[in-house]
Structure 1
């Protein structure tokens, strides 16, 4: 099962390394096959489970926006205070998909780049979205 912006079925692209598998286009993926899997929104998953996160880690190899779009209720929950996620970025560490920070900021989060200890910026970087923590 995977997360997306709607419930249904989606083609999971298998990468040459299991850490490269995912949905949609991702420039670092070396596709070796496809498999159809069930997908669900995070909102629906949490509703069914009757539990909502206070902290999340999202690492979905380029599928961040659909996952967050399917989590509008989860993102609005004030108990959710911290989200760590990976995203594609430019050479300065700015997230290339401007919809990601816009969506998170619209839900009341502040998005911050988590720099590597070396200071190097790679095509995929880590970010943290914070709410209510100054």
Structure 2
């Protein structure tokens, strides 16, 4: 099985952006590291602080009629809810793809995680592998 899992982490607010590792996330989440690192990647501002704040401004909180579960949404991303138990608390947003792929942006830990699989898993909000990889990535950050 071939997977791509990328963790873009700077640790300290003034540390240089993790652009080298982040580039390997490919087409799945090219802007995700910028979201986790204050909106800047390679010294270029891709997202303004206002846009990042909009991502976390809750727009809906209730049953999703397509996915059939209770979800919270900001602008363009899901927000933590009991339906995605593999996300830790914090200022985190995410989105998943059918089969297990996921992008997670954590602005407090200044991290972005992207997982893309080549073998479909079960579940609409991540697979068992998604859960294991995201939990392991956050364990490494904490």
**TM-score normalised per structure 2:** 0.29
RCO higher in 1 or 2 (8 Å CA, sep ≥ 6)?
2
* Structure possessing the higher radius of gyration over alpha carbons: 1
* TM-score for the superposition, normalised by structure 1: 0.30
